[in-house]
Amino acid sequence: RRFLYFLFIALDACFRLKRRMVSSELRDPGLGTDWSYFVEQEPYHQYLLATTNETEVRVN
């Protein structure tokens, strides 16, 4: 269970994660944005705000 508390740090193949801090999305687009478990932040926040008060559905 130690893996639950492990810190994961990543760099992509082109080292763009570092450069994204000082550049713009237009000049330096991310490599593979929205792949895997990562989603666009703003639509996700809007989804959370819209669904926070819904009752959880349990399927047996």
Q: Structurally, how many domains does the chain consist of? A: 1
58 is a domain residue: no
44 is a domain residue: yes
Q: Which residues in the chain come in under a pLDDT of 70?
A: 3, 8-25, 28-38, 57, 60
pLDDT of residue 37: 63
Structural domain containing residue 32: 10-51
Residue type, 23: S
2 is a domain residue: no
35 is a domain residue: yes
DSSP secondary structure letter of residue 32 = T
pLDDT of residue 35: 60
Sort 43 into a burial class: Cβ within 10 Å, 0-12 / 13-18 / 19+.
Answer: exposed
pTM reported for the whole predicted model: 0.34
57 is a domain residue: no
pLDDT of residue 23: 59
pLDDT of residue 48: 82
Cite the DSSP H helix spans in the chain. 16-19, 41-51
60 is a domain residue: no
